[in-house]
Amino acid sequence: MKPRFDAFVVGMFLALAISAPSDAARSLQDYRYFRSLSIDMQGRVPTRTELTDFERTDFDVDNWVESKLSTSGYEDRIRRIYLDPLRPALSTIFPFVTSVVLRRHSIQVEGGTTANVYWRNGQRRKRDSTDGIFCLGEADTGLKFPRTGNPTGTAKPVTKAILDQYTVKVKPWWLYRDYASSAPKDLYSATTWATKYPNFAPHPALLTEADGSATTEIRVCKEEAQTAESGTIYKSGRTTTTTPADRIVPLAGDTNFAITNVGKPIYCASDTAVTNSADCGCGVGLERCSPGANNGFDPSGFVLPTKAPLGVTLPVDVGSTAQSEWTRFWWSQEVYEFIARLAREDRDFREILTSPSTVINGPLAQFYKSYQGSTCCGQGASFGYSEPQSLFDRANVPTDLLPHDTTTWKVVSDRGPNAAGILTMPIFLAKYGSRRARAHAIYGTFLCRQFVAESVELTPSTEPDLTKRPGCSTCHATLEPMSAYFARVRESDWTFLPKENFPVLETKRCNRSTPASDCRSYYDPAFTSDAGAMLLGAYASQTNADLGPRGFAEATVADPAFAECIVSTVASSFLGRIMVTDDATRLSTWKTALTSGGFRMRALIREILKSDAYRNANNLNSTLWRKEEGP
């Protein structure tokens, strides 16, 4: 009988260095094992050259496996285990369309030319005819402009003087690498940038003028072109909302926030600033805004991979996408890179939930620096919340990453005090929009538990507390306190609600006797009494609400089920089957391997790959086994 690569003895492999004797011929099982290792560790079948190496007498499988533990194939393998249940990608069902979007109108100009003019919805302007909408009005163009879509009326050419009065020319970030310089020169080139900055490709319509010539600078409304980091709060003096004859979009009266805070400084990278300050623009090179090639709700913006199962550097399909896809696309990649880093550096796997760090590239740096505040702060301004406190502190965003740096990924060691692994990444918060969905996703993926109330009868009840309500309590007694950890992160959003502005129990503005109209956006009427109003989602655990996502992360990794779940999930992926009762011993051994080394994934993977369960996934029936093994 030929020497066997895989003796059918439990644990024997652990003691064997796989260096075949000099006359060894590999058995079929040996080859199958090597092929399995290649599939799992390299993501492909072995090449003939690798087989030849494997057949050499001095080939050491242990060393081979060890060398593969630091490759991209291994990162990919580990990442897939968690991407499959988390599915961190979003379709247009989550439209990231905020005040960062620059749309454009094509305007007839005297002399018979057409100009594309970029603008953003909601931009405050001191002309009533254009405040909050496009910067050229009916008197200038003969047209009335809606918030999105085509204008109405009979167009007349705008004079050059008017055009120059209300618009300016800018060399924006999507056309120039050195957009921040005083005289940008490094113009976008489809041929050279494709190599230097893969996957950075503005939509063709952003690169061409109406006359067909190449775009080298764009015309944008003057207010949007402003570059200051902060502006001042503007008050128009209007007390009511009206719709003047030259507009189709109503002209709003001043908000209480504007009236109360007029003249005070405001940080420009927030929606509150856009809608309350006439001197907050899109920043240097328009870096706080996202370009759109038309006047639609979510205009075309970039050409991006639309299908990339092997990673964004190896797309299988590339196409024009709406501007919002640019942001959603890179949000996904943050999770991909974050998990890959955990695998690459063999970091404590608990960091997937607890780490304050992340990995970002240029587009993500731009988002965290300039876009993330665009969903803040809405009616929060009434609570004194007008400058976003982010889950990712913009002060910690690397300053040397430019939007074009698609392949340069930098570690940010500390995003800020509220950051926690994937839990505070926009893709997770948007994919799992509600507090309960967020808690449920983590509960299932990292504790391997499900909420199932098989046959509980639901009876009518007026009890608003789902931890008590008959039938509901079966699941919600657990779920509600967990979802409370997310009470300070707005639903379908990443805006953080700080304690200073939003105490868990609000006693001044939102209590039952004197409710303010904007209370319902933040406080739960079902849990409001004369004593105060409860922050939305916090009723089941005020403590958890204040602990936030980081508290949830700490509680989850401290749960004994966390390690068991990791081991079970990873083993299930490598063995290709569900773990069953018979696996208890090996799962326990593997759990020790994982935890004793500080939750290092490589220790677990080594044990699995060397185990009899993995090696002997032979699937041979007993008759054949006896024949192969001999008497």
Q: Which of residues 439-498 bind another protein (CB under 8 A)?
A: 440, 444, 448, 450-462, 471-472, 491-492
Q: Choose among 269, 487, 291: nearest CA to 387.
A: 269
The residue written with tokens 């003047």 in the block is: 244
Site map 270..309 versus another protein, x via CB under 8 A: ------------------------------------xx-x
- The Cα 368–Cα 398 span in angstroms is 10
Q: Stretches 63-71, 316-324, 400-408, 542-550: which one binds another protein (CB under 8 A)?
A: 316-324
Residue 622 C-beta: closest distance to another protein, Å: 4
Position 580 contacts another protein (CB under 8 A): no
Closest CA to 46 of 63, 24, 13, 68: 68
CA-CA distance, 438 to 424, in Å (whole number)? 10
Binding map of another protein across residues 15-54, x = CB under 8 A, - = no contact? -----------xxx--xx-xxx-xx--xxxxxxx--x---
Interface with another protein: number of residues (CB under 8 A): 84
Instruction: Name residue 327's amino acid.
Output: T
- Minimum CB separation of residue 572 from another protein in Å reads 9
Shortest Å distance, C-beta 615 to another protein: 10
Nearer to another protein, 531 or 625 (CB): 625
Give the nearer residue to another protein in terms of CB position, either 138 or 524. 524
Q: CB of 573: closest distance to another protein in angstroms? A: 10
**DSSP label of 323:** H
Nearest CA among 124, 126, 107, 144 for reference residue 244: 144
Nearer to another protein, 267 or 451 (CB): 451
The CB-of-88 to another protein minimum distance in angstroms stands at: 6
Nearest approach in angstroms of CB 6 to another protein is 10
Residue 345 touches another protein, criterion: CB under 8 A: no
Choice from 142, 315, 398, 551 touching another protein (CB under 8 A):
315
Alpha carbon distance 122, 275 (integer Å): 6
Q: Is residue 560 close enough to count as binding another protein by CB under 8 A?
A: no
Site mask for another protein (CB under 8 A), range 392-431, x = bound: ----------------------------------------
Residue placing its CB nearer to another protein in the complex, 341 or 490? 490
Residue 614 C-beta: closest distance to another protein, Å: 9
Quick one: 146 or 525, whose CB is closer to another protein? 525
**Contacts (CB under 8 A) with another protein, residues 186-215:** none
CA distance 310 to 316: 8
Establish if 85 lies at the interface with another protein (CB under 8 A): yes
Mapped onto helix, strand or coil, the DSSP state of residue 105 is: strand
What is the C-alpha separation between 504 and 548, in angstroms, rounded?
Answer: 12
The Cα 2–Cα 509 span in angstroms is: 83
Rule CB under 8 A: say whether 8 interacts with another protein.
yes
CA 495, 501, 502, 503 dihedral sign is: positive
Considering beta carbons, is residue 91 or 241 the nearer one to another protein?
91
- Minimal distance, residue 563 CB to another protein, in Å: 16
Which part of the chain contacts another protein (CB under 8 A), choosing from 80-88, 162-170, 210-218, 372-380? Answer: 80-88
Token pair in block for residue 247: 């507009």
Q: Least distance (Å) from another protein to the CB of residue 126?
A: 31
In angstroms, the CA 510 to CA 499 distance is 15
Within 589-618, which residues bind another protein (CB under 8 A)?
612-613, 616-618
C-beta of residue 125 within 8 angstroms of C-beta of residue 132: yes
Helix (H) or strand (E) holding 505: strand 505-506
Nearer to another protein, 13 or 119 (CB): 13
Please identify which residue in 113, 256, 521, 588 interacts with another protein, judged by CB under 8 A.
521
Contact with another protein (CB under 8 A) among 228, 318, 477, 587? 318
Q: How far is the CB of 145 from another protein (least distance, A)?
A: 23
Residues 6 or more apart whose CB falls under 8 angstroms from that of 399 comprise none
Say whether residue 624 binds another protein (CB under 8 A): yes
Angle between helices 435-447 and 542-558 (to 10 degrees): 20
Q: Distance of CA 522 to CAs 59, 377, 498, 533, 552, Å?
A: 64, 11, 12, 9, 21
DSSP letter (8 states) at residue 457: P
Near another protein in 89-118, by CB under 8 A: 89-91
Number of Cβ atoms within 10 Å of the Cβ of 616: 19
What are all long-range contacts of 91-95, with beta carbons under 8 Å and residues at least 24 apart?
92/298, 92/322, 92/324, 92/325, 94/328, 94/430, 94/431, 94/433, 94/492, 95/297, 95/298, 95/324
Burial class (CB in 10 A: 0-12, 13-18, 19+), 429: buried
Q: What is the nearest approach in angstroms of another protein to the Cβ of residue 59?
A: 14
The nearest distance, CB 579 to another protein, in angstroms, is: 9
Nearer to another protein, 256 or 461 (CB): 461
Chosen residue from 332, 366, 473, 511 binding another protein by CB under 8 A: 332
Nearer CB in complex with another protein: 308/365: 308
Residue 622 found at the interface with another protein (CB under 8 A): yes
CB of 111 to another protein, least distance (A): 39
- For residue 598, the number of C-alpha atoms closer than 13 Å in the C-beta half-sphere is 5
